[in-house]
Amino acid sequence: MKKMNIPTVQRKYDSRLTPFLIIFQIALLFLPNTTIAQDSNKGKTLLAVFAHPDDEITLGTILNKYSEEGVKVYLVVATDGRFGTNDRTKHVAGDDLAALRREEMQCSADKLGVELIHLKYQDQLKSAEGYDGHMPHIQALMKDIYNIIERIQPDAIVTFGPDGWSNH
């Protein structure tokens, strides 16, 4: 059997940074009024946009901190998370998993003090259907996010970088 030379993909995120990032987020909670006074945050709006249920965990402490300072925080989750399992697990799958993840998202939003906007797209935007099945969902998602931005007019938007890598 001939050995295939498969190129590796370089990721910008180094997983060795994870403990540091967690400690950094926790430390942010204990900082006294950082560069912006809490009163100046009242009336501000923050929009957090993520692909999957549970992506908000990467910025959960920050979203909660701003919510407690009077910032109106919106959490947009694009997909239903139905493919967040595999054949080796004993987890529920498909519609049952999507329903469970919806409940988990709402619980997370409630605990963080943010308003959840769930767009309910199928996980992976039907990419298994090829280009013709995938692109209409990408275009509709882009339009939905644009409309949310226009409606909310956020002062700041947070999401993953352009590569979309969440490393979890």
Query: Which CATH number among 3.40.50.10320, 3.40.50.1970, 3.40.50.720, 3.40.50.670 corresponds to the domain 43-158?
Result: 3.40.50.10320
Owner of token pair 């619980």: 107
Mean pLDDT of the chain: 78
Identify the pLDDT of residue 108.
93
Q: Are 102 and 118 in contact (CB under 8 A)?
A: yes
Mean pLDDT across 99-128: 87
pTM, two decimals, is: 0.71
pLDDT digits (tens, 9 = 90+) for 5-48: 444 444 454 566 666 666 766 666 665 555 545 567 788 999 99
Residue predicted with more confidence, 154 or 58: 154
Q: What is the pLDDT of residues 44-58, one digit of tens each?
A: 999 999 988 888 888
Integer Rg of the chain from CA:
18
